Amino acid sequence: MRATAENPGYGAYVHIPFCRHRCDYCAFATFTDRDQIIEKYLDSLATEISRAVAQGMPTATSIFVGGGTPTRVPPEALIQVLSQIPTTSDAEITIECNPDDVTSEMLRVFRDGGVNRLSFGVQSMQSHVLLSLGRTHNPANVERSVELARQAGFSDINLDIIYGVHGESVDDWAATVASVLQLEPTHISAYGLTVEGGTPLADDPSRHPDDDVQAEMYDVVDDLLTAAGMENYEVSNWSLPGRECQHNRLYWFQGNYAGFGSAAHAHHDGRRSWNVRTPDRFIELIDSAQSAESSSEILDLDAQRIEGLQLALRMREGVPVDSFSASDLELMSELVLVNNGQVTLTRAGRLMANEVALRLR
């Protein structure tokens, strides 16, 4: 199903919080010292899902398994968990993969279990850039894992890459983009490196990204991906025509989705909630027949409206022309395009999306 503003569908996010190694820039709820509870965690995850189904969980049009490192857990056990989520016949089911973990047998289990989309955490194809990020994988494993994915029958493949890393030149970045394009993915997500508090990156200002360099690198990736036939459909996301990530589109269209596992977020009609952060506490709560929800917030209608405009502005669909004043549109003439009553961002505008969004009304 194609997610649209009128019908975004219903999603399910499943969080796997285990990692072999924590990258220097990562602020996600991931843990490198909890492998001994993987089996218990998956059992509790299955229980949380079964409760949601018993309470009338809608049929999911998309599932996204993220982390952490989903490929850190036994693939058969993960598929068993996912099989409990009711899905439509054409549901998009994505699993994030670490290239170092992937085996042909793992991918066969995923494929046989209904998974139809893979997202590989590549970040860079330059070894010295990976080292600067605190990443451990070998670029050659990216090529190997993508080839194994194709052999297993996967046709929807996303590659995540990051730009603006300390020690990464514009030429390094262009080489990474060229290398991932040679693998012929259907989708590429390219993110500017951001500094998150509490990370080793945050503690070392000498490694913080330079805004001007990142802007130049954004131009490079957009040029190269566009030339390769990919379309920018959200500020940081490009795909071949018709191969957009429907689960992400659901998020951006403010659709409803369930969140399963520690630190997982959910959204239902303006109510956002999130589970407890640690897998140990998650297991404890689920095993004692309690909710794993940690907290929630309810957005009023105007907050929902503004947030909806902020998200839509980042997408190629854009926002209605009356979302801005005429004077602001004139002031931002180099940042936005007005066409058929809709306002969309130019490439320069994409680089300043947050600033443009401040003028929404």
Question: Which token pair is 35?
Answer: 């492998």
Please return the burial class of 229, using the count of CB atoms within 10 Å of its CB with bins 0-12, 13-18 and 19+: exposed
Question: Which token pair is 147?
Answer: 């080839």
Q: How far apart are alpha carbons 33 and 332 in whole angstroms?
A: 49
Q: How far apart are alpha carbons 341 and 322 in whole angstroms?
A: 8
Under the banding of pLDDT at 50, 70 and 90, the label for residue 256 is very high
Instruction: Look at residue 132 and tell me whether its pLDDT is greater than 90.
Output: no
pLDDT averaged over every residue in the chain: 95
Looking at residue 135, its pLDDT comes to 78
176: left (phi over 0), alpha (psi -120 to 50) or beta: alpha
**Which tens digit of pLDDT belongs to each residue from 258-300?**
999 999 999 999 999 999 999 999 999 999 999 999 999 999 9
- Cβ neighbours of residue 210 under 8 Å, at least 6 residues apart? 164
Q: Structure pTM? A: 0.95
Q: Position of tokens 């018709």?
A: 242
**Tell me, what DSSP letter sits at residue 201?**
T
Q: Which of 136, 200, 213, 121 is nearest to 167 (CA)?
A: 213
For range 131-135, the mean pLDDT: 84
SS3 258: strand
Q: Which residues of 64-90 are buried (b: 16+ CB within 10 A; e: fewer)?
A: bbbbbbbbbbebebbbebbeebebeee
Residues facing 345 on adjacent strands: 336
SS3 15: strand
Question: Which token pair is 173?
Answer: 């970045």
Q: How far apart are alpha carbons 319 and 354 in whole angstroms?
A: 14
- H or E element: which one contains 233? strand 231-234
For range 76-81, the mean pLDDT: 98
- Is residue 342 within 8 A of residue 316, CB to CB? The reply is no
**Which tens digit of pLDDT belongs to each residue from 94-104?**
999 999 999 99
User: Which domains does the chain carry?
Assistant: 10-252 (3.20.20.70), 305-357 (no CATH)
Looking at residue 4, its pLDDT comes to 95
CA-derived radius of gyration, the chain: 20
- H or E element: which one contains 271? strand 271-275
